[in-house]
Amino acid sequence: MRVIALTGGIGCGKSLAAQYFAELGGLGIDADQLARAAIERGSDGFDEVVTLFGDSILKDGNIDRRVLGEIVFKDPKAKVALENIIHPFVRREFEEAVASLKGDDVLVYEIPLLFESKSHERFDLVITVEAELENRVARLRDRGMHISEIEGRIAAQATREQRIEIADFLIENDGSEDELLRQVENIWDSLHDS
């Protein structure tokens, strides 16, 4: 069994690469999805976040992630407080997934902030998905993000060079989806050859 970290900057195509790894037989977990689950309505995390940040972050009874994101990107103390609620839940879920692995299982853990969290040592392999800045911006604009939000998110993340420095494999995602799939397949095949 292997535990692989799949990282990359926002808009680089991590999620699509993760989907391809899952189609090839990898067990996929997304750190961002776990973080969302940690503060879903009805969870202890939800109650803690609303107590901490107030009702102004609510929309239709749910946490408005965009509003919450704007608060924590501007206030480092608020960011740390939110992380102290979310991270223990995410860590527990990840550890349970690793503990359930057996045989030839390959867990692909999609984790955008791998370099920033200094947790790459916990993985058997690190794969980073990278793309040219203009391609990243275009993808994020297609998702409805504003340019100021895009610039802020990119600036808050590790650089391409920092991610490549800790990676065992680099996927360049500036071409078609087929080209991305071929790169994923090549890495998958090399995992099973070694």
Per-residue pLDDT tens over the stretch 75-127: 989 999 999 999 999 999 999 999 999 999 999 999 999 999 899 999 999 99
Q: What is the pLDDT of residue 194?
A: 62
What pLDDT, on the 0 to 100 scale, is given for residue 51?
95
Local confidence band at 70 (pLDDT 50, 70, 90 cut-offs): confident
Report the pLDDT value the prediction gives residue 54, as an integer from 0 to 100. Answer: 94
Q: What is the pLDDT of residue 152?
A: 87
Over 70: is that where the pLDDT of 129 sits?
Answer: yes
- For 156-164, the CB contacts below 8 A with 24+ separation are 156/73, 157/9, 157/10, 157/112, 157/113, 157/116, 158/9, 158/113, 158/115, 158/116, 160/9, 160/130, 162/115, 163/7, 163/8, 163/9, 163/114, 163/115, 163/128, 163/130, 164/128, 164/130
Mean pLDDT (the chain, rounded) = 94
